[in-house]
């Protein structure tokens, strides 16, 4: 009952309005956040530590930080969090908002995150290492779309060292919101000794807020933190008006769903040592299930609007256990600076170019220079295969490539917290 009341109270909180945040750079210029979310670059409550945390402007210094001895406080705490979910669930946006720093690339197109990315949050004596993972896919999807194998194996690899699983569920997707995907359930059962937290994302897109309670009941099977809700577990039905469904048909649907769910749970209980099961066998055992009964907590957020993220961040900090830190407090991410630049430009290509074009074009760094004042000057090139591609990338009067360049430059200012000058050259296919 207490769990339900807590969820209802969260629903009644007023939703904060989203607004872009202008960020003053060290040289006095202002940064800009594109419409994928806003990220505050400085933490006013921890000015000293924030002033020394930045992403290096060269790979050599980044490598030094990666292997630096952690500067543990007298009493240090640590937790390592794997962020799991289907493609486009909002995992990277959530990681950025928790960090208050745009580290992970985000886009409206699927498969923006191609491999595991670490982001390191430091608050007082606590270090949290986030592992943002690619969206979970199956072997058939990987083969059909000719995707890298890393998209298939990286999400599970991230679970090996993690203490906590953060499952991000997109409540706005009508096709998938009423059940946990079997690929996710397989990992939850396979690593059930680890704490798992359910994050219901994109709640701003749900008009009927009470429906989120129904979703919570479905996805948790009515149990959160070992406490069963006062309502019996609801069974998933097609969303029709009851007047349109014959009573006998409705009863039959309920019984069928109940039998599938009970049968699935029984099969899992019979498999006491689930670690001896193959992935395919475990998948077969969970494919008919709707939810997971072992979530320790549930959070309702809108990562894009930064609504509910503070509560989640506070929970993660409090969940950290006494332990030496894994990284130096100066390290923000394990991504190499040059890779950050390439990913940021790729993100803007995904946002602005049509169809499959951005997936087959890879930007290249032609020039990289850091001035004594800290100005990062960059020149990147794009090499389209045809003149038609050139026209699509450049746009009318060069408007599209100009917008891509400006947005990428502004995001890089926010990420590096230094002034950045970026130029993108679109090469003529004939010049190759």
Task: Specify the CATH number for the domain of residue 390.
Answer: 3.30.300.20
Q: Which pLDDT score is estimated for 190?
A: 86
Q: Which pLDDT score is estimated for 335?
A: 93
Number of domains into which the chain is organized: 2
- Confirm whether 65 is domain-assigned: no
Q: Which pLDDT score is estimated for 238?
A: 39
pLDDT in tens, the chain (432 residues): 444 434 444 444 432 222 222 222 333 333 222 333 444 443 333 433 444 688 999 999 999 999 999 999 999 999 999 998 888 889 999 999 999 999 988 877 655 555 668 899 999 999 999 988 764 444 555 444 444 445 445 556 667 888 999 999 999 998 889 999 988 998 898 889 999 999 999 999 998 888 889 999 999 999 999 888 755 434 433 344 434 445 455 455 545 554 555 555 554 444 445 566 777 778 788 888 889 999 999 999 999 999 999 999 999 999 999 999 999 999 999 999 999 999 999 999 988 988 778 778 889 999 999 999 989 999 999 998 888 889 999 999 999 999 999 999 999 999 999 999 999 999 987 765
Q: Which pLDDT score is estimated for 22?
A: 26
Q: Which pLDDT score is estimated for 256?
A: 57
Domain of residue 398 covers: 337-431
Asked which of 322, 355, 390 is the last residue of a domain, the reply is 322
- Confirm whether 397 is domain-assigned: yes
Q: Are residues 350 and 318 in the same domain?
A: no
- Confirm whether 39 is domain-assigned: no
Q: Which pLDDT score is estimated for 250?
A: 45
Q: Are residues 314 and 351 in the same domain?
A: no
Q: Are residues 83 and 163 in the same domain?
A: yes
Q: Are residues 103 and 230 in the same domain?
A: yes
Q: Are residues 123 and 152 in the same domain?
A: yes
Q: Are residues 218 and 92 in the same domain?
A: yes
Q: Are residues 318 and 341 in the same domain?
A: no
Q: Are residues 249 and 279 in the same domain?
A: yes
Asked which of 322, 356, 389 is the last residue of a domain, the reply is 322
The CATH number of the domain where 158 resides is what?
Answer: 3.40.50.300
Contact present, 212 and 10 (Cβ < 8 Å): no
- Confirm whether 31 is domain-assigned: no
- Confirm whether 327 is domain-assigned: no
Q: Are residues 279 and 343 in the same domain?
A: no
- Confirm whether 63 is domain-assigned: no
Q: Are residues 342 and 307 in the same domain?
A: no
Radius of gyration of the chain (CA): 23
Asked which of 296, 322, 348 is the last residue of a domain, the reply is 322
- Confirm whether 66 is domain-assigned: no
- Confirm whether 293 is domain-assigned: yes
Q: Are residues 158 and 129 in the same domain?
A: yes
Q: Are residues 112 and 142 in the same domain?
A: yes
């Amino acid at each position: 009952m207490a769990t339900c009341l807590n969820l209802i109270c969260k629903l009644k909180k007023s939703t904060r309005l989203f607004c872009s945040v202008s960020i003053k750079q060290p040289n006095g210029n202002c940064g800009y956040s594109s419409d994928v979310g806003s990220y505050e670059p400085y933490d006013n409550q921890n000015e000293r530590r924030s002033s020394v945390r930045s992403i290096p402007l060269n790979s050599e210094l980044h490598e030094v930080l990666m292997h630096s001895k952690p500067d543990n406080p007298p009493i240090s705490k640590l937790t390592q969090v794997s962020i799991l979910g289907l493609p486009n669930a909002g995992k990277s946006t959530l990681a950025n908002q928790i960090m208050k720093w745009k580290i992970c690339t985000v886009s409206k197109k699927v498969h923006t995150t191609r491999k595991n990315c670490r982001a390191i949050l430091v608050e007082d004596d606590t270090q949290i290492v986030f592992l943002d993972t690619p969206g979970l896919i199956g072997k058939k999807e990987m083969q059909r779309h000719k995707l890298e194998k890393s998209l298939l194996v990286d999400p599970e690899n991230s679970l090996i060292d993690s203490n906590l699983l953060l499952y991000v569920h997109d409540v706005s997707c009508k096709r998938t919101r009423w059940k946990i995907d079997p690929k996710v359930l397989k990992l939850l059962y396979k690593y059930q000794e680890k704490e798992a937290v359910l994050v219901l994302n994109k709640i701003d897109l749900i008009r009927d807020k009470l429906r989120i309670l129904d979703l919570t009941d479905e996805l948790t099977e009515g149990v959160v933190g070992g406490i069963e809700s006062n309502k019996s577990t609801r069974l998933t039905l097609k969303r029709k008006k009851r007047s349109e469904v014959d009573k006998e048909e409705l009863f039959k649907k309920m019984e069928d769903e109940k039998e599938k769910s009970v049968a699935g749970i029984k099969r899992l209980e019979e498999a006491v040592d689930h670690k001896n099961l193959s992935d395919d066998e475990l998948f077969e055992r969970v494919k008919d299930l709707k939810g997971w009964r072992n979530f320790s907590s549930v959070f309702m957020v809108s990562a894009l609007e930064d609504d509910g993220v503070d509560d989640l961040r506070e929970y993660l900090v409090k969940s950290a256990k006494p332990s030496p830190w894994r990284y130096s407090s100066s390290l923000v991410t394990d991504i190499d600076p040059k890779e950050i630049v390439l990913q940021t430009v790729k993100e803007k290509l995904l946002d602005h170019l049509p169809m499959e074009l951005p997936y087959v074009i890879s930007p290249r760094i032609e020039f990289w220079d850091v001035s004594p004042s800290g100005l990062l000057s960059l020149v990147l090139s794009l090499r389209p295969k045809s003149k038609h591609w050139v026209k699509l990338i450049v746009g009318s009067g060069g408007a599209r490539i100009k917008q891509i360049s400006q947005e990428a430059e502004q995001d890089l200012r926010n990420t590096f917290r230094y002034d950045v000058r970026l130029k993108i050259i679109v090469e003529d296919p004939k010049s190759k």
